[in-house]
Copies of this chain bind each other. A is one copy, B any other.
């Protein structure tokens, strides 16, 4: 049933970044609630739930892609939080972003680093240890 995908997606998203998930759902609920539902069902209910890769490996892939694409800063910040939540260190995030200078150029890597810097400051302020 559809609701299984949603429930599974919501559980998976909570493992990665429950607060961000709630904010996204909340921000879409008046304008595009079906997109909110799809965002839980397909990425998290279908894809992140597949196993094979660890959540850490999946977040490395996502941080790499969003840094390289360079036009999705809000989502990049969500996934830097997510990567840290599932076991990446800050230094590992920085390494992924440096590597994107090779594949998408220095501006992509610099803008990705500024996203990381903002996320690290948010977490310091919230008293999070990593």
What is A's interface to B at a CB cutoff of 8 Å?
1-2, 5, 24, 27-28, 30-32, 34-35, 38-39, 42-43, 46-48, 50, 52-53, 57-58, 60-72, 74-75, 91-92, 94-111, 113-114, 116-117, 120
Contacts and interface: CB of A to CB of B under 8 A. Distances in A.
Given A47-B102, A65-B65, A110 B38 contact: no
A64 B63 CA distance: 9
B103 A66 contact: yes
The binding surface of chain A is classed by DSSP as helix
B46 A38 contact: yes
22 contacts: A27-B114, A31-B116, A31-B117, A31-B120, A32-B98, A34-B98, A38-B98, A38-B106, A42-B42, A48-B99, A53-B92, A53-B95, A53-B99, A57-B92, A62-B102, A64-B64, A66-B103, A68-B68, A71-B71, A72-B105, A75-B103, A103-B106
Contacts of A104: 65, 69, 104-105
